[in-house]
């Protein structure tokens, strides 16, 4: 019997309370849960694993009337026990394959412990690094986020959800959550429909196309309608236009939260609005307990309940839970395996972005004494980052441990400099200065501890916490070469760090194997390949700052002075900028250095003109002009010069990683179809408008060889 016929059979035998039970998810297994399971009054559990999960599943399968299995969900965001870099760091790899592999090993470990379902990937576009949850996402660009998000879905789910080493993915938070006003978590979002469709919905649609089993509705109010009660995004777009046939789960109590939002008067109305909008399962809160009364009163059609339950059963059947409801605990041997650690180390290494290097890196293997400074150099828990449910600090290999292992403990002197990353007590700085003076070079590990990013962890300032900048200033004053390694969950304003450090490596929160990955890069065992998935501001006052912005009527030139030279009578230099800071970012989207250099030449287009429905090929020759092997991330950007609605100044349309030996040259080609140039016009039609386009191929969003072409109707 195929899945749909099995669902029909189950629905025909289910009572209304049993149907509503499938739509309910409980956190933990509190007292009294056993009776609910036997009654078929719960369909899913959150944060229940191991023996507790087996016990609950046995009650559902063997003691409930219809034997419908439970689905167990858990936040497996960037690893289970083997922790990978935070998702923002994974996006910095510009390598969907390493992202896919990371999700695969996370699924493998989680499934062995009875987890069926993860609440990842998060593909919220975030243009404000003050928002703490930027750490969980894929950055500011919809094309990159779509590539990374789809790779995560494929890694978690594989080609067959019933594979015992795979788990169901959940694309979240649908939709617009990353645009929270002021970067304050849970806050209001105002996103015009065209921007919603062209930017914020793009990675979600990519996840749906990749087969994500579920989506999660968000906390935020979107244009006056809470996302968990938004029929436009859930029913019209997701389930209607995109044909999504999995199920939607609310975020934690986000159905109930429509009451404090001021959108629902009480729990009953919240339940009605949530189900009518398209939420199929309620996480944690109990508003759906009112569904039976709503159906009886004719306020909610039974067909909507049946549709929600059909979707939930469909995912359970695709997962093979009816045939194999219990986890095979013998598979737990894969947890923290050598293979998994290797994947995590590769991901961490590729996520690191080299932002500055005045010839300090790689460090000489013959260095006689290296000073390692900073509390983050030896804090296993902090390098794991936020949203780590099952990873353990003691499993992590820290940078200090890795450098001591590579160089020998006698050649590495360590001083924390501060008691912790947020400390303002400078009493330990003299010891750190003495360690620096006794060494040939200094590596200072600076940035955020794990507790400074994640949900409800927004920041008003983006500089180094505590007395870290004063520590760095003191180290630089010794005259010793200083390499700064930044561990962080977000983009920071690193201008003062750039001034003091001779080399700067952005390592994000790199996960379990972050230490060996960083040591490999510092010592030249491997070369950095990461690229920025977000724009780095000079100061928090520039936020929001992102590369694919619109132009104004008075755009600043690259060399525009901060203070205009004109007057209101003669507005010379009156452009869109600030008086007290350069309008340009500190580092642009897509930026990243290597231990070699690359040159671009001979940009060619297969045609200067193409018709709607056609494609062109853009090719460029990239040469390794340095003395070391390296990987360049070649990036393709376009601009629609004139549109019926104004268009961004640049948009990423492709990227390729190219490994080149010293002196080696290779032609890199991109295919660009006119559909890739489409956007939603004022009538919300997705169109490619004829006209002139600019094109660049280069190393980041700010540089590249230019060309132009025309699309004709």
Q: Are 164 and 257 contained in the same domain?
A: yes
In the predicted model, what is the mean pLDDT of the chain? 97
- Dihedral over Cα of 444, 82, 91, 226: its sign: negative
Q: What are phi and psi of 619, to 5 degrees?
A: -125, 145
- Residue 52 located in a structural domain: no
- Residue 332 located in a structural domain: no
Question: What string of H, E and C letters represents the secondary structure of 525-584?
Answer: CCCCCCCCCCCECCCHHHCCCCCCCECCCCCCCCCCCCCCCCECCECCCCCCCCCCCCCC
- Residue 47 located in a structural domain: no
Percent of all residues in the chain with a pLDDT value above 90, rounded to a whole number: 96
Q: By C-alpha distance, which of 11, 73, 5 is closest to 310? A: 11
d(CA 548, CA 647): 9
Which CATH number fits the domain that encloses residue 380?
3.40.50.1700
d(CA 188, CA 176): 9
251 is a catalytic site residue: yes
Which residues are CB-contacts of 604 (< 8 A; sequence separation ≥ 6)?
Answer: 618, 619, 620, 707
Q: Which helix (H) or strand (E) holds 504?
A: strand 503-506
- Residue 67 located in a structural domain: no
Q: By C-alpha distance, which of 451, 602, 437, 540 is closest to 135? A: 451
Q: Are 181 and 223 contained in the same domain?
A: yes
Residue 568 pLDDT? 87
Cβ atoms of residues 633 and 592 within 8 Å = yes
Q: Which residue of the set 221, 251, 395, 640 is catalytic?
A: 251
- Residue 258 located in a structural domain: yes
Q: Are 513 and 621 contained in the same domain?
A: no
The pLDDT tens digits of the residues spanning 34-66 come to 999 999 999 999 999 999 999 999 999 999 999
The pLDDT tens digits of the residues spanning 394-415 come to 999 999 999 999 999 999 999 9
Q: Are 147 and 252 contained in the same domain?
A: yes
Q: By C-alpha distance, which of 350, 689, 658 is closest to 520? A: 350
The β-bridge partners of 619 are: 604, 669
494 pLDDT more than 80: yes
Residue 119 pLDDT? 98
Which CATH number fits the domain that encloses residue 604?
2.60.40.10
The pLDDT tens digits of the residues spanning 200-251 come to 999 999 999 999 999 999 999 999 999 999 999 999 999 999 999 999 999 9
| Mean pLDDT along residues 558-570 | 80
Q: What are phi and psi of 247, to 5 degrees?
A: -120, 160
Cβ atoms of residues 123 and 173 within 8 Å = no
Domain boundary among 475, 505, 522: 522
The pLDDT tens digits of the residues spanning 498-550 come to 999 999 999 999 999 999 999 999 999 999 999 999 999 999 999 999 999 99
The pLDDT tens digits of the residues spanning 599-621 come to 999 999 999 999 999 999 999 99
Write down the pTM of the prediction: 0.98
560 pLDDT more than 80: no
Q: Are 182 and 229 contained in the same domain?
A: yes
Residue 562 tokens, joined: 């901060």
Q: Are 507 and 368 contained in the same domain?
A: yes
Number of other CB atoms surrounding residue 707 within 10 Å: 18
d(CA 89, CA 488): 9
Q: Which helix (H) or strand (E) holds 248?
A: strand 247-250
Residue 348's alpha-carbon distances to 80, 191, 461, 529, in angstroms, are: 15, 34, 26, 11
Q: Are 448 and 408 contained in the same domain?
A: yes
Residue 226 pLDDT? 98
Q: Are 201 and 275 contained in the same domain?
A: yes
Residue 292 pLDDT? 98
Q: Are 285 and 389 contained in the same domain?
A: no
Residue 564 pLDDT? 80
The pLDDT tens digits of the residues spanning 434-488 come to 999 999 999 999 999 999 999 999 999 999 999 999 999 999 999 999 999 999 9
Range of the domain at 634: 598-712
- Residue 571 located in a structural domain: no
d(CA 428, CA 431): 6
Q: Are 165 and 311 contained in the same domain?
A: yes
Number of other CB atoms surrounding residue 405 within 10 Å: 14
Domain boundary among 495, 522, 549: 522
DSSP state of 242: S
Cα atoms in the Cβ-side hemisphere of radius 13 Å centred on 154? 15
Percent of all residues in the chain with a pLDDT value above 70, rounded to a whole number: 100
| Mean pLDDT along residues 78-99 | 98
Which residues are CB-contacts of 254 (< 8 A; sequence separation ≥ 6)?
Answer: 217, 218, 219, 226, 227, 228, 283
The pLDDT tens digits of the residues spanning 93-120 come to 999 999 999 999 999 999 999 999 999 9
For 312-410, where are the E strands, in sequence order? Answer: 353-357, 370-373
Cβ atoms of residues 95 and 657 within 8 Å = yes
d(CA 461, CA 308): 43
- Residue 576 located in a structural domain: no
Number of other CB atoms surrounding residue 192 within 10 Å: 11
The β-bridge partners of 705 are: 697
User: Hey, is 542 helix, strand or coil?
Assistant: helix
Q: Are 387 and 273 contained in the same domain?
A: no
- Residue 331 located in a structural domain: no
The pLDDT tens digits of the residues spanning 676-690 come to 999 999 999 999 999
Residue 31 pLDDT? 81
DSSP state of 406: H
- In the block, tokens 């491997």 appear at 526
* Residue 569 pLDDT class (50, 70, 90 cuts): confident
Residue 30 pLDDT? 80
Residue 687 tokens, joined: 């169109």
Number of other CB atoms surrounding residue 188 within 10 Å: 16
Domain boundary among 522, 538, 570: 522
The pLDDT tens digits of the residues spanning 122-133 come to 999 999 999 999
* Residue 565 pLDDT class (50, 70, 90 cuts): confident
Q: Are 300 and 355 contained in the same domain?
A: no
Question: Domain tally for the chain?
Answer: 3
Which CATH number fits the domain that encloses residue 239?
3.20.20.300
């Amino acid at each position: 019997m195929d899945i749909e016929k099995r669902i029909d059979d189950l629905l025909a035998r289910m009572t209304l309370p049993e149907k509503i039970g499938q739509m309910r998810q409980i956190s933990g297994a509190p007292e009294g849960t056993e009776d609910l399971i036997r009654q078929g009054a719960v369909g899913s559990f959150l944060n229940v694993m191991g023996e507790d999960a087996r016990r609950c599943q046995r009650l559902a399968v063997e003691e409930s009337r219809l034997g419908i299995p439970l689905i167990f969900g858990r936040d497996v965001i960037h690893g289970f026990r083997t922790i990978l870099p935070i998702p923002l760091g994974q996006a910095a790899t510009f390598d969907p394959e390493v992202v896919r592999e990371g999700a695969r090993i996370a699924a493998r470990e989680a499934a062995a412990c009875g987890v069926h379902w993860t609440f990842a990937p998060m593909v919220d576009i975030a243009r404000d690094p003050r928002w703490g949850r930027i750490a969980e996402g894929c950055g500011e660009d919809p094309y990159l986020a779509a590539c990374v998000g789809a790779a995560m879905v494929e890694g978690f789910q594989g080609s067959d959800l019933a594979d015992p080493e795979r788990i169901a993915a959940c694309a979240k938070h649908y939709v617009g959550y990353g645009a929270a006003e002021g970067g304050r978590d849970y806050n209001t979002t105002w996103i015009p429909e065209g921007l919603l469709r062209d930017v914020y919905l793009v990675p979600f649609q990519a996840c749906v196309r990749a087969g994500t089993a579920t989506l999660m509705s968000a906390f935020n109010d979107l244009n006056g309608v809470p996302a968990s009660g938004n029929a436009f995004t859930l029913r019209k777009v997701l389930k209607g236009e995109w044909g999504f046939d999995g199920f939607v789960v609310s975020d934690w109590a986000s159905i109930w939260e429509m009451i404090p939002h001021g959108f629902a008067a009480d729990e009953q109305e919240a339940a009605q609005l949530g189900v009518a909008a398209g939420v199929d399962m309620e996480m944690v809160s109990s508003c759906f307990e009112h569904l039976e009364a709503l159906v009886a009163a004719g306020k909610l059609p039974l067909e909507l309940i049946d549709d929600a339950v059909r979707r939930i059963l469909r995912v359970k059947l695709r997962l093979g839970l009816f045939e194999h409801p219990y986890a095979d605990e013998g598979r737990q041997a894969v947890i923290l395996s050598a293979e998994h650690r290797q994947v995590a180390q590769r991901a961490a290494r590729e996520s690191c972005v080299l932002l500055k290097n005045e010839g300090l890196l790689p460090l000489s293997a013959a260095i006689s004494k290296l000073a390692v400074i900073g509390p983050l150099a030896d804090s296993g828990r902090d390098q794991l980052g936020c949203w780590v449910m099952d990873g353990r600090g003691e499993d992590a290999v820290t940078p200090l441990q890795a450098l001591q292992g590579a160089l020998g403990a006698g050649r590495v002197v360590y001083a924390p400099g501060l008691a912790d990353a947020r400390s303002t007590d400078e009493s330990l700085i003299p010891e750190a200065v003495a360690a620096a003076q006794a060494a040939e070079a200094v590596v200072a590990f600076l940035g955020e501890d794990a507790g400074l990013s994640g949900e409800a962890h927004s920041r008003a300032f983006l500089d180094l916490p505590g007395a870290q900048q004063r520590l760095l200033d003191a180290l630089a004053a010794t005259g010793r070469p200083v390499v700064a390694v930044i561990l962080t969950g977000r983009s920071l304003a690193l201008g003062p760090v750039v001034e003091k450090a001779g080399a700067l490596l952005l390592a994000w929160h790199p996960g379990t194997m972050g230490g060996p990955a960083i040591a490999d890069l510092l010592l030249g065992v491997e070369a950095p390949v990461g690229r920025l998935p977000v724009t780095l501001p000079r100061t928090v006052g520039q936020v929001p700052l992102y590369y694919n912005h619109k132009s104004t009527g008075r755009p600043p030139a690259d060399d525009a002075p901060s203070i205009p030279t004109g007057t209101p009578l003669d507005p010379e230099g009156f452009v869109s900028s600030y008086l007290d800071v350069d309008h340009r970012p500190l580092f642009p989207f897509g930026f990243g250095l290597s231990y070699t250099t690359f040159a671009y030449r001979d940009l060619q287009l297969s045609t200067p003109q193409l018709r709607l429905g056609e494609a062109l090929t853009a090719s460029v020759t990239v040469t390794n002009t340095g003395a070391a092997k390296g990987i360049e991330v070649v990036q393709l950007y376009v601009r629609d010069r004139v549109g019926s609605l104004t268009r961004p100044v640049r948009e990423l349309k492709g990227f390729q990683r190219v490994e080149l030996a010293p002196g080696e040259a290779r032609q890199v080609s991109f295919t660009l179809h006119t559909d890739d140039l489409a956007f939603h016009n004022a009538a919300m039609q997705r169109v490619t408008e004829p006209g002139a386009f600019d094109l660049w191929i280069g190393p980041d969003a700010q540089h590249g060889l230019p060309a132009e072409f025309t699309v004709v109707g």
